[in-house]
């Protein structure tokens, strides 16, 4: 889920449309993510409605927290590098 959220941010598929309100263009539609003053977050996608979490809401959190975005970016890059190294050894 974290990789998908990061991809949404990188592809600029998250757009702020109001105070704490975002449109996020996912693979299966455009969803509304709302982050309230108390920090709670919600999304209109079916996954969030069922599980109370989704890549769309996580993408909004990544945009709002640049330090978290940098950490996620670094980890994704490290993971990709490890995978490349494993393939080269085989």
pLDDT in tens, the chain (90 residues): 899 999 999 999 999 999 999 999 999 999 999 999 999 999 999 999 999 999 999 999 999 998 999 999 999 999 888 888 888 876
* pLDDT (0 to 100) of residue 85: 86
What backbone phi and psi angles, to 5 degrees, belong to 11?
-85, 5
Beginning with the edge strand found earlier in the chain, give each strand of the sheet holding 41-43 in spatial order.
Answer: 14-18, 21-26, 29-35, 41-43
Q: Which of 35, 28, 27 is nearest to 57 (CA)?
A: 35
Cα gap 3→64, rounded to integer Å: 17
- How far apart CA 81 and CA 18 sit, in angstroms, is 38
């Amino acid at each position: 889920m974290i990789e998908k959220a990061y991809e949404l941010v990188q592809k600029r598929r998250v757009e702020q449309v109001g105070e704490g309100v975002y449109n996020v263009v996912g693979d299966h539609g455009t969803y509304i993510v709302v982050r309230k003053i108390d920090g709670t977050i919600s999304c209109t996608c079916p996954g969030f409605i069922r599980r109370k979490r989704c890549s769309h809401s996580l993408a909004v959190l990544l945009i709002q927290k640049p330090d978290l975005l940098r950490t996620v970016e670094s980890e994704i890059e490290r993971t990709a590098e490890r995978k490349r190294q494993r393939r080269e050894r085989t």
